[in-house]
Amino acid sequence: MLEKLFQGVKEFQQEDFEKHRKLFESLYNNQDPHTLFIGCCDSRVVPSMITKTAPGELFIIRNIANIVPPYKETEEFVSTIAAIEYALHKINIKNIVICGHSNCGGCEALYLEEEKTKDIPNVKKWLELAGEVKKRVSKIVPANDIRARDWMTEQLNVVLQIEHLLTYPGVKKRVKEGSLNILGWHYIIQTGEIYNYSFEKRKFELLRENDIK
Ligand SMILES: [Zn+2]
C-alpha cells in the first residue's frame, strides 16, 4: 500500500498540480477560505469532493463524530476549539458546515457496552461530548430499532453540535446580523445525498436539485 501513496504523489504532481498550477501559485502566501467544514474522520467523507470545492476554499476540521466541544478556555479538547477559534477570529469565515454522515462509527460507539471501550478510553472520553444525543434519541426512537436509532443519532448529533457552536464568542451575534451562516448536514455515503437541517422546521430535509440555486 505504501507504493500506492508514492505513486499517488507522483501522479498528483505530474497531472493535477500541472492542471491547476495557476491556482496553487496564487495561493502561495495567503488563504481566504469562505467555509469552515467540520466533519468526521471517516475515510468515506471527502469534504472537497462532496462540495466540489478547490484548495483554498474550505478550512477543515475533522474529528471522531464531527463534534464541537462547547466553548471554554480549557486544557482539554484544545485542538478542535483552537481551530474553530482561529477560523472565527483570524480567517473571518462566512459559513460553517457541520457534516455528519450515514453509518458513522463514532455515533455508533456511543452505544458500545463498557467492556468494548476498554482499548479506546480517549474515544470514549471524547464521545462524552455527544452524550446528550443518546438521551434525546431514546425519547423518540424505540430501543430495538437500531437502524432508526443510528440515523436519528447521526442527525441529532449534528443539531447538538450546532448548539455547541452557538456557545462560541461572537457566533450568535454574527448569525443574527447575517454575516455567518451555519449549516447542518447529514451526508449519505451510498447515495451521495445530503440532508440539510432546516432551523425553521427543526428537521433535516433532502437537498434536491431544485432547491439549489
Ligand atoms: Zn463518522
CATH code for position 194: 3.40.1050.10
- What are the residue ranges of helices labelled H in the chain? 2-11, 17-19, 21-26, 47-50, 78-89, 105-109, 121-127, 131-138, 146-165, 171-176
Tell me, yes or no, whether 16 lies in a domain: no
Q: Which residues pair with 98 in a beta bridge?
A: 38, 184
Tell me, yes or no, whether 15 lies in a domain: no
Distance 126 CA to ligand 1 centre (A): 13
Tell me, yes or no, whether 9 lies in a domain: no
Tell me, yes or no, whether 24 lies in a domain: no
* Exposure of 24 in the CB half-sphere (CA atoms within 13 A): 8
Between strands 194-198 and 181-187, the pairing is antiparallel
Distance 22 CA to ligand 1 centre (A): 34
Tell me, yes or no, whether 14 lies in a domain: no
Distance 175 CA to ligand 1 centre (A): 27
Res 213: pLDDT: 62
Distance 40 CA to ligand 1 centre (A): 5
Task: Identify the CA nearest to 88 among candidates 114, 59, 47, 128.
Answer: 59
Helices (H) and strands (E) in the chain, counts: 10, 6
State the CB neighbour count (10 A cutoff) for residue 34. 15
Res 210: pLDDT: 67
Distance 53 CA to ligand 1 centre (A): 21
Distance 54 CA to ligand 1 centre (A): 23
| Residue tagged 451555519 (cell numbers) | 182
Distance 44 CA to ligand 1 centre (A): 9
State the CB neighbour count (10 A cutoff) for residue 88. 19
Distance 27 CA to ligand 1 centre (A): 30
Res 92: pLDDT: 86
Question: What tens-digit pLDDT sequence spans the chain (213 residues)?
Answer: 899 999 999 999 999 999 999 999 999 999 999 999 999 999 999 999 999 999 999 999 999 999 999 998 888 879 999 999 999 999 989 999 999 999 999 999 999 998 999 999 999 999 999 999 999 999 999 989 999 999 999 999 999 999 999 999 989 999 999 999 999 999 999 999 999 999 999 999 999 876 666
Distance 188 CA to ligand 1 centre (A): 11
Cell numbers that stand for 206 in this block? 433532502
Tell me, yes or no, whether 187 lies in a domain: yes
Domain that residue 42 falls in: 34-206
Distance 19 CA to ligand 1 centre (A): 32
Q: How far apart are CA 195 and CA 206, in angstroms?
A: 4
Distance 29 CA to ligand 1 centre (A): 33
CA distances from 42 to 4, 39, 55 (A): 20, 8, 20
Res 10: pLDDT: 98
Query: Considering its fold, how many domains does the chain have in total?
Result: 1
